[in-house]
Amino acid sequence: QVQLMESGGGSVQAGGSLRLSCAVSSSTYMRNNLGWFRQAPGKEREGVAAINSGGSTGYADSVKGRFTISKDYTKNRLYLQMDSLKPEDTAMYSCAANKRVNFGPPTIFREDYTYWGQGTQVTVLS
């Protein structure tokens, strides 16, 4: 079992930046596939970015070139650096962990994840 806790959300003007952080309670799960998801009001949860056990990353087309996912084993933390933010990025952002080690393509499908954080709100003002 692992607990995930997000922080770093807030309100920012369009074009600005935020860095989200996810504290991972177990260092074992840091080696697994980790991801960031978001859900806007009235919309389904969508995958934003993922990082696999080898450090390879994957992104949704809507955030490629603007968001960067990374992890720090020394701090047991997952990060999402978000630059050039747009109003359509407004959503509740959650981190998630897979049960298993994954050296294949990083996945941003929510069905592949077992453990979820509570989320942190990001609001981008136009």
The pLDDT tens digits for 79-114 are 999 999 999 999 999 999 998 888 889 999 999 999
Q: Which stretch of DSSP H or E encloses residue 93?
A: strand 91-101
Closest CA to 95 of 40, 48, 28, 43: 48
Question: Is residue 19 within 8 Å of 122, Cβ to Cβ?
Answer: no
Q: What is the pLDDT of residue 102?
A: 86
State the average pLDDT over residues 56-68.
Answer: 97
Give the pLDDT of residue 100.
87
